[in-house]
Structure 1
Amino acid sequence: MAEHTLIHNQDENKYEYHIDGHIAYITYDNQNGVLHITHTIVPEELAGKGLAKILTIDVMNEIEKQQLKVQPKCSYTVAFMEKNPDYQRLLG
């Protein structure tokens, strides 16, 4: 899968990829610098390509770059954090 540009849609509290007319995204609720990840959504047309993982990695890297913390609330992100202990340093 080609690289995609991560878009931070602050008005809607989302990180997005725009791919072939579809939007894959992660939603969050910012609570005092801790991003509570609420949903990870990949459209059916883009499913099965590992996009949720790629998007989550990009979002985690952006959270770290912004010196924020994360609190996973959606099942995908909870599982991602369990499988990728390197990102647990971002838990807040």
Structure 2
Amino acid sequence: MAPVTIINNEQQQQFQVRLEDELAYLEYRFYKGDIALMHTEVPDKLEGRGIASALAEYAFKYAREHRLPVMVYCPFVASWLKKHPENRDVLDPKYRDDHPNLR
């Protein structure tokens, strides 16, 4: 996949990629000092290019740089995390231990 430009739209609380007049995003929320990754959306036209994976990687990099523990509610990010266990150290330990999809 060619590199994509990801922006943090703080007002909409989304990490976003604009490509070919389409918008892909990973929606997040801040909660009790954590960042909760809520939902990933990639338009059909952009599927299969690794954009969702790039958004997940960016979200974990952002969390690490800002020292924010991560909570994962997005099914895509949960499955991505299973393939990239090196990012588990950023998960909120209280949340990680209680969430069956992240074990």
Q: Tell me the TM-score normalised to structure 1 length.
A: 0.91
For residues 29-68 of structure 1, the aligned pairs below 5 Å read 29-68=29-68
**Superposed CA RMSD:** 1.1
Q: Deviations over 1:22-65 (max 9, x none)?
A: 11100011013311111011110000112111221122112211
Equivalent pairs counted in the alignment come to 92
- Residue 67 of structure 1 aligns to a residue whose secondary structure is coil
Structure 1 Cα separation of the partners of residues 9 and 32 of structure 2: 18
The answer to whether the 8 A contact 2:4-2:51 is kept is no
Structure possessing the higher radius of gyration over alpha carbons: 2
Structure 2 unaligned runs (5+)? 93-103
Residue aligning to 1:72? 72
Residue aligning to 2:96? none
Residue aligning to 1:27? 27
The answer to whether the 8 A contact 2:70-2:90 is kept is yes
The answer to whether the 8 A contact 2:28-2:36 is kept is yes
2:25 maps to amino acid: Y
- Percent of aligned pairs with the same amino acid: 26
Moved over 4 A (4+): none
Give 1 or 2: higher strand fraction. Answer: 1
